[in-house]
Amino acid sequence: MAKKHDGSRVRDALRVDGALPDPGATPVGPGKKAKALAGLESAGERLSALQEALYAEGVGGGTRRVLLVLQGMDTSGKGGTVSHVLGLVNPMGVRYAAFKKPTVAERRHEYLWRIRKQLPGPGQIGVFDRSHYEDILVPQVSGLLTAAERRRRYAEINAFEAELAEAGTTVLKVFLHISPEEQLKRLKARLVTPEKRWKYNPGDLEARSHWPAYQEAYAGIFEKTPTWYAVPADHKWYRNWAVAELLIETLADLKPRFPAPDYDVDAELAKLKGVGVPS
């Protein structure tokens, strides 16, 4: 899809358009850890304020919402992003869903069935830790998807996302871009640290062995489905900073507004004056 410039500094820099940036690069924003951490802290305040306004809008009858889709190879930091970026805002306004290997029950439905059940409500920020894109990636890499089937899935997903947009959902799709060298380090860290062993899955090495096939499958997705952003993710501090800024730019675009009261403020204040203390 053609690159669109909309004057948003971080989105313009990270929007996928052909080749991806180096996973260790810092194409926009802070190039050093200390600056990125300070930036994330200030981002927390802006993010919270925008999130609260969006939530209030939802309470006031608004239907807009945001869905952050996180994709990336194992250890690319999807969970860490949720913790460090979404952890900055009020949990009331966040709806998180992880999509693992489909269960037997889930496989009895079409692949968007379980996705639809986890969509954010009005005023919420939904977060998908993996998503319907796994339903292209995994079968494509396993050789279980013909080219015609793949084209059909692109079309189905595009129609699905258009339907979401129509219902007031802004979808922000982020690919956390990690290098195979960094993945190897992180897998090792998971094995040698007892409290991290639960995060390790022997299947991760199998997926890793298909690295080029996954990159190719992602390239197809970036080309055939609407706007993606690639966040260099070898530095966790850069990843967190960048996702927070992408989310802020997306929310700021919506200009969420506290709803006007649907009652007469002065009349209510007058009523309060006459109210005693119940006993």
**Using CB under 8 A as the criterion, which residues of the chain lie in contact with a copy of itself when the complex forms?**
56, 59-60, 79, 82-83, 86-87, 89-92, 94, 96, 98, 127, 129, 180-181, 184, 187-188, 191-192, 194-195, 197-202, 205, 208-212, 258-259, 261, 263, 265, 268-269, 271-272, 275, 277-279
Residue 111 or 200 having the CB closest to a copy of itself = 200
Evaluate whether 65 touches 122 at the Cβ level (below 8 Å): yes
CB of 103 to a copy of itself, least distance (A): 12
Long-range contacts of 141-145 (CB under 8 A, 24+ apart): 141/207, 141/210, 141/213, 141/214, 141/217
Shortest Cβ 12–a copy of itself spacing (Å): 28
| DSSP assignments along 189-221, one per residue | HHHHSGGGGGG--THHHHHHHTHHHHHHHHHHH
DSSP per residue, 127-189: EEES-TTHHHHHHHHTT-S-HHHHHHHHHHHHHHHHHHHHTTEEEEEEEEE--HHHHHHHHHH
* CB count in 10 Å sphere of residue 36: 23
Q: Min. distance of Cβ 162 from a copy of itself in angstroms?
A: 26
Tell me how far, at minimum, the Cβ of 158 lies from a copy of itself, in Å. 28
d(CA 119, CA 169): 9
Q: How far is the CB of 121 from a copy of itself (least distance, A)?
A: 10
Name the residue nearer to a copy of itself (CB basis): 31 or 180: 180
Shorter beta-carbon distance to a copy of itself: residue 89 or 221: 89
Min separation Cβ 89 and a copy of itself, Å: 8
Rounded to the nearest whole angstrom, what is the least distance from the CB of residue 141 to a copy of itself in the complex?
12
Exposure string over 213-244, b if 16+ CB within 10 A, otherwise e = ebeebbebbbebbebbbbbbbbbbbbbbbbbb
- Find the shortest distance in angstroms from Cβ 82 to a copy of itself: 5
DSSP percent split of the chain into helix, strand, coil, nearest 5: 55, 10, 35
- Minimum CB distance to a copy of itself smaller for 149 or for 181: 181
- Cα–Cα distance for residue pair 244/260, rounded to 1 Å: 28
CB atoms within 10 A of CB 154: 16
Asked if 131 contacts 78 with a C-beta cutoff of 8 angstroms, the reply is no
- Residue placing its CB nearer to a copy of itself in the complex, 51 or 225: 51
